[in-house]
Structure 1
Amino acid sequence: MCGIIGCVGRGERTADTLVSGLETLEYRGYDSAGIALGGSKLSVCKAAGEIAKLKTALGSRSMSGEPGIGHTRWSTHGPPTDENAHPHADCTGDVAVVHNGIIENYQELRAELDEHTFTSETDTEVIPHLIEAELAAGTDPEDAFRAAIARLEGSYAVVCLIAGCDAIFGTRKDSPLVLGIGDDTPDGQALFVASDVPAFREYTDRVVYLDDGEFVRLDDEWVVTDSDGVVREKSVETVDWDPEETGKSGYEHFMLKEIHEQPRALRQCLQGRVDELGGSVTVDELDNLAPTGVQFVACGTSYHAALYGAQLFREQGIPAQAFLASEYATAVPPIGNDLVVAITQSGETADTLSALREASRRGAETLAVTNTVGSTVARESDRKLFIRAGPEIGVAATKTFASQLLALNLLVLATTDASAGEVVPALRDLPGQTQALLDDSGAEAVAEQFYDAPAYFFIGRRYQFPVALEGALKLKEISYKHAEGFAAGELKHGPLALVDDRTPVFAVVTGDDEIATKTVGNIKEVEARDAPVVAVTDRQNDAAAYADHVLELPETHPHVGAVLANVQLQLVAYHIANRLGRPIDKPRNLAKSVTVE
């Protein structure tokens, strides 16, 4: 895995179009890159490292041809080397393939292809050799591609070039692939295929989402067929965001830009769903939904949102649990009549999709909470609730997490007997309060104080417990520092042994109820061990009195306070990572959309 782009109809601009598309996909995370150009003979250029190294390699040689395919790789089989980079070719050099996913039976296929010469350690390389064998047997290119794909087991999005053929062939199974339908040009209609829309959004806003098992051929037209070659009618949809939204807009990093985009993202999530005067919430997608039990499935940041959502439902007397999707898919608990809610920013997270599909097989009603219209999870769920955060480029989730928390509030208010009257005013004020916090945060000064600490703890209770987990995750993702989040009461059950005067403890505490009082007690426990304390608080409690530093929060409803606390912790993580000179938008070993289990 990670990023795919292919195009036809771009003529002499093909190579530049591919490289530009790969640069746009850098946010997904990668460790090598390459392109292949078609014609009577294929030209392939690839290099380990950043796209800048690919551009250097391209500058030292003459490459031309059309159509073309490109790839940024995130290593799964074999380290990041020139040989393991995509595209991969067959023995003759007449077939080139790029692939996201994992071919589970590649070792058996490789053994079967023992007369072929392999030059990489990847699972992907079996695909061009399978196609080569079919072509040698007299099979035409498109049927050769189909026959090779039929041999694969696992997950994949595959795009292929064959010498002497003016077409690109592609297909998907459990890994995203989307078409871009461009305008007519002197070189023909510009057509694109990619793992994500931003790869070609500069050229067109018209897209077609492929479903699992579908094949596409792009030449002077686009044709989508099923596995038997029967033509599928597909709708062309319009992407409703501007290509400039995927730029940095003057910010040093995408992550910082997206942190600052949160007020707008929150407004978009609320728009048309909250009646501020009437104090009610109406979400058309959730009409007549009244769950008696809820199971959330999610991974990473989305799992932290799931923990928060489960807490909201339980407070309304509805049994709710949050499950790590990777565990749920392999050991599904009894579902009964529970609603199964899959939370995934991209809508393509492999573990979450597997959990959702298992729940569907067992007859559960399913709901997707996602940012991506047209994603696999949105298409396969019975219902969908879009968080409307807009495109997020930074690998570390920021505005999508805030929008997930807000969307889960709307989900609970729209489907239960929860009183919206108390929460709606706080929801209304949330975007403005977030902006005020961003304008006057002390996070950079705190980061400067503690950027060189060997480890960090984050603690919170109730709604703030998932925020503590997320704060720790954000810091370790982009700073490479050891950070852990805990339910505040759990420190004394083991982790307190790790606390000393070099271990900053970020304590999230809002309100003045019993929960706040208990969290202040936990702050005293770490203070007694000489740990520096950073209180993230609205000062309605005594937390500030026992803290070395305070990150201020405005007073608001407890549900909403979690969103605001999270913004402060995002800024802390960003400024620590920036102070350490980390590649914030592209942290090592991580990918934006994890499409393998």
Structure 2
Amino acid sequence: MCGIVGAVAQRNVTPILIEGLKRLEYRGYDSAGVAVIADGRLQLARAVGKVAELEALLVATPRPGTTGICHTRWATHGVPAERNSHPHVSTDVAVVHNGIIENHEELREELVALGYQFQSETDTEVVAHLVQHYIDGGKDLREAMLATVKRITGAYALVVISAKEPGRMLLARRGSPLCIGIGVGENFAASDATALVSVTSRIVYLDEGDLGEITTDGYAVFDREGRAVIRKEHLSNLSAGAVDKGEYRHFMIKEIFDQPTALANTLEGRINGGRVLEACLGPRAAELLARVKRVRLVACGTSAHAGLVAQYWIEQIAKLPCRIELASEFRYRDPVIEPDTLFISISQSGETADTLEALRHAKTKQLAASLVICNAPESSLVRESDIALMTHAGPERSVASTKAFTTQLMALALVMLLLARRNGLSEDQERRYVKSLEAAARQVDEVLKEDAVLQRLAERLIAKEHALFLGRGPMWPVAMEGALKLKEISYIHAEAYAAGELKHGPLALVDEHMPVIAVAPDGHLLEKVKSNLQEVKARGGELYVFADREAGFKSEPGVTVIGMPHADELTDPIVYTVPLQLLAYHVAVLKGTDVDQPRNLAKSVTVE
């Protein structure tokens, strides 16, 4: 959620820090701040609102320095206010923090008794005072950090500097991602490598429990006992252009239009001759998949909707028992996981706290294997899973997920076909499904050409306060995703129902003021969907139907039909998601909301 950037250099680092924060704005935040060391003193600047507010403050009153840290905050403890913004300072120490310190109240009481004064309501400020306390007791910065992390519990990514030791920076990671960027005569820290694309492509990711130290001369990594450890250096393939909007007005619309390429990239190298290559799941795939007798999926938010679609596929095509659960619920109910279960976690960032903890709980059971569907190759979920299948969606910076969702569906379809092959799917059937997957990128491109149609449709929705989305079978989760997109960026209340549930309650809401948006591909449930929509029409509801051009739907008074390309039932969820994304985007633009950074939301949820 929150963003961290740090730098130690032989030049003024303030512009580097601000540029890094700008690249992390997509994560969602309510305030921003920077602390630098200059002439042996800490200089602090903080502002509520966007990074632009902080930047303007620094233009008016420059704060140059060769060592510095900065942060964008998403409120957990304390309201959005300058006093609660990071960095937090204690005499000579400044700290930025992602995560939650669970024992902050008892530490605060202890530190107050020692004479330390608190300026904020945050949990983070205890870290600043605790580090300062150990420095006051004679420890150097590294020793003080080692002592501090042994006292705190919870989840954290911490970066700390001290005016007494300029040119030195300490990092600590537990439960929240943190990495080191390697330069020449300068080194960097960040919660996301995206922040560092303009200064380095050499990245070292800290493991759980690691401490890091950077200076202008180099870096080192230590375990919680202070023993030196080696962490692999990675060459990031991110480019500055890959994380810019380019010609597009918002990241969200850019990422919607990225989807044909992202879908093709997710298939690339994983299919051949009409079959899915088992090797796409790694060298142990055959051994691990042979044990699978059932599947359990866990995810949050949009990724959970992808898992719901996959549940239909795995049971209908692979003929395996399958269950999808919200990770936030899974980890607290002591779930029964039967032996020989394939445990699939789904996450765009690979750092979603609830999903990560669900995986850790599941690994205490007798799994066949743990598999992650993810877009971040060096993330915690990838490192801790037996198998990783990357989506190759490229950077996704809009808080509202688009291409991550459709590429997750593509990756899950590949996994499903590998499972189905071991459970009776014939070669001819597999080739038919693979052919449909190959066609999906082209069909999505066809939908994108109807952007102007969706923009005109959006004009009819901007004055609405509520909307109802309907679908059946695997299109029900697509309706859920469409409703989520509309409410999270346009702030119109929207709900989704399985169309067959209309008569069991939601039909009471239907009148001329309630737009009803339905997805109706030409599948085996089409006639059922048509009957459900007649229930809406009979009650004066305003219907918007995304329907296969071959399905026999026609526009008429009260019913607007948006024609869709004919696709396979397997890929209908991918293709029909895209117009719902476009509709939500255009409604939000017309309403004037902050499309890429909707209020109260964050991109990567690394706290509970």
TM-score, length basis structure 2: 0.95
**1:363, distance to aligned residue in structure 2 (A):** 3.4
2:378 maps to which residue? 374
Q: How many angstroms apart in 2 are the aligned matches of 1:283 and 1:543?
A: 43
- Counterpart of 1:104 in structure 2 is 102
Contact 2:482 / 2:580 at 8 angstroms: preserved in 1? yes
Tell me which residue corresponds to 1:215: 211
Classify the secondary structure of the residue corresponding to 2:307: helix
Whole-Å Cα distance in 2 between the matches of residues 574 and 10 of structure 1? 44
Post-superposition shift, 1:416? Answer: 2.2
**Secondary structure of 2:571's partner?**
helix
In 1, Cα distance between the equivalents of 2:579 and 2:454?
Answer: 6
Match of 1:562 in 2: 573
Is 1:31 the counterpart of 2:30 in the alignment?
Answer: yes
Contact 2:486 2:584 in 1 (8 A): yes
The one-letter code matched in structure 2 to 1:332 is D
CA–CA distance in 1 between the matches of 2:442 and 2:199? 35
Distance 1:487 1:384 in 2: 32
Partner of 1:413: 417
Q: Find the counterpart in structure 1 of residue 70 from structure 2.
A: 70
Aligned residue in 2 for 1:343: 346
Q: Verify: 1:535 aligned to 2:545, yes or no.
A: yes
Amino acid at match of 1:421: R
Aligned to 2:302: 301
* 1:147-162 aligned within 5 A: 147-162=147-162
Amino acid at match of 1:595: T
In the alignment, the residues of structure 1 paired with residue 10 and residue 471 of structure 2 have an alpha-carbon distance, to the nearest angstrom, of 54
The answer (yes or no) to whether the contact 1:157–1:170 under 8 Å persists in 2 is yes
The match for 1:435 among 432, 441, 445 is 445
- The answer on whether the counterparts of 2:298 and 2:358 sit within 8 Å (CA) in structure 1 is yes
1:330 aligned residue: 332
Q: Give SS of 2:298's match.
A: strand
The CA deviation at 1:497 is 1.2
Q: Which residue is equivalent to 2:180?
A: 179
Q: What is the root-mean-square deviation in Å for CA atoms of aligned residues?
A: 1.3
> Does the 8 Å contact 2:280/2:389 carry over to 1?
no
Partner secondary structure for residue 460 of structure 2: helix
Counterpart CA distance in 2 for 1:142 and 1:294 is 45
The residue matched to 2:344 in structure 1 has which SS? strand
Q: Give the letter aligned to residue 137 of structure 1.
A: G
2:236 and 2:520 map into 1 onto residues whose CA distance is 40
**Deviation, structure 1 residue 411:** 0.6
Residues 506 and 141 of structure 1, relative CA distance in 2, 3 Å threshold: same
Q: Deviations over 1:509-529 (max 9, x none)?
A: 11142x111111111111111
Query: Any conservation in 2 of the 1:226–1:232 contact (CA below 8 Å)?
Result: yes
Please, which moves more after superposition, 96-105 or 497-506? 497-506
Equivalent-residue separation in structure 1 for 2:161 and 2:181 (angstroms):
18
Q: 1:281 Cα deviation (Å)?
A: 4.4
Say whether 1:229 aligns with 2:226. yes
Contact 2:177–2:351, Cα closer than 8 Å, also in 1: yes
Check whether the contact 2:276–2:414 (CA below 8 A) recurs between aligned residues.
no
Matches within 5 A, 1:232-247: 232-247=229-244
Deviation at 1:192, TM superposition (A): 1.1
Counterpart code for 2:22 = E
Per-residue deviation at 1:164? 2.4
Report whether the alignment pairs 1:447 with 2:458: yes
Residue 265 of structure 2 corresponds to which residue in structure 1? 268
Query: In structure 2, what is the equivalent of residue 352 of structure 1?
Result: 355
Aligned equivalents of 2:53 and 2:461: distance in 1?
35
Whether 2:180 is the aligned partner of 1:170: answer: no
The match for 1:591 is 602
C-alpha distance in 2, partners of 1:510/1:207? Answer: 45
1:279 Cα shift? 4.3
Paired residues for 1:89-168 under 5 Å: 89-90=89-90, 92=91, 94-114=92-112, 115-165=115-165, 166-168=167-169
CA shift for structure 1 position 324: 0.3
Q: Tell me the number of residue pairs that the alignment of Structure 1 and Structure 2 aligns.
A: 587
C-alpha contact 2:319 2:420 (8 A) present in aligned 1: no
CA contact (8 A) 2:483 2:494 kept: yes
CA distance in 1, matches of 2:469, 2:540: 16
Paired AA for residue 99 in structure 1: H
Is residue 520–residue 542 contact of structure 1 (8 Å, CA) maintained in 2? no
Displacement of 1:552 after TM fit?
A: 2.0
Q: Which residue of 1 aligns with 2:485?
A: 474
Cα distance per residue 1:548-592 (max 9 Å; x no partner):
222221111111111111000000000000000000000001110
Provide TM-score, normalisation by structure 1: 0.96
Aligned partners of 1:15, 1:552: CA distance in 2, in Å?
52
Task: Give the aligned partner of residue 6 of structure 1.
Answer: 6
Q: 1:425 and 2:423 equivalent?
A: no
1:575 aligns with 2:571: no
Distance (whole Å) between structure 2 residues aligned to residue 467 and residue 585 of structure 1? 21
Instruction: Give 3-state SS (helix, strand or coil) of 1:466's partner.
Output: helix
CA contact (8 A) 2:523 2:569 kept: no
2:522 matches 1:511: yes
Q: Could you report, residue by residue, the CA deviation over 1:269-306 in whole angstroms, capped at 9, with x for unpaired residues? A: 0001112x444444432521242100000000000001
Letter in 2 for 1:445: R
Structure 1 SS opposite 2:533: helix
1:545 deviates by 5.4
The Cα offsets for residues 162-216 of structure 1, whole Å up to 9 and x where unpaired, read as 012121100111100011112x2xxxx2211101111001111111111110000
Q: What letter is aligned with 2:566?
A: E
8 Å CA contact 1:283, 1:414 repeated in 2:
no
- Residue 400 (str. 1) matches residue 404 (str. 2): yes
The residue identity in structure 2 corresponding to 1:173 is: R
Percent of residue pairs identical: 43
Q: Which letter does structure 2 place at the counterpart of 1:335?
A: I
Distance of aligned partners of 1:278 and 1:65 in 2 relative to their CA distance in 1, 3 Å threshold:
closer
Aligned to 2:473: 462
CA distance in 2, matches of 1:10, 1:236: 23
Task: Check 1:280–1:521 CA distance in 2 against 1; reply closer, same or farther (3 A cut).
Answer: same
Distance 1:363 1:193, change over 3 A: farther
Q: Letter of the 1:109 partner, please give it.
A: L
Q: Is the 8 A contact 1:517 1:541 kept in 2?
A: no
Could you tell me which runs of 5 or more consecutive residues in structure 2 were left unpaired when the two chains were aligned: none
User: How far apart are the structure 2 equivalents of 1:78 and 1:478?
Assistant: 25
Residue 65 of structure 1, CA deviation: 1.8
1:236 deviation in Å?
0.8
Please say if residues 512 and 540 of structure 1, whose CA atoms lie closer than 8 Å, have aligned partners that are also in contact. no
Look up the equivalent residue of 1:7 and give its one-letter code. Answer: A
**Offset at residue 491 of structure 1 (A):** 1.6
Please say if residues 309 and 573 of structure 2, whose CA atoms lie closer than 8 Å, have aligned partners that are also in contact.
Answer: no
**2:103, 2:85 → 1: CA distance?**
20
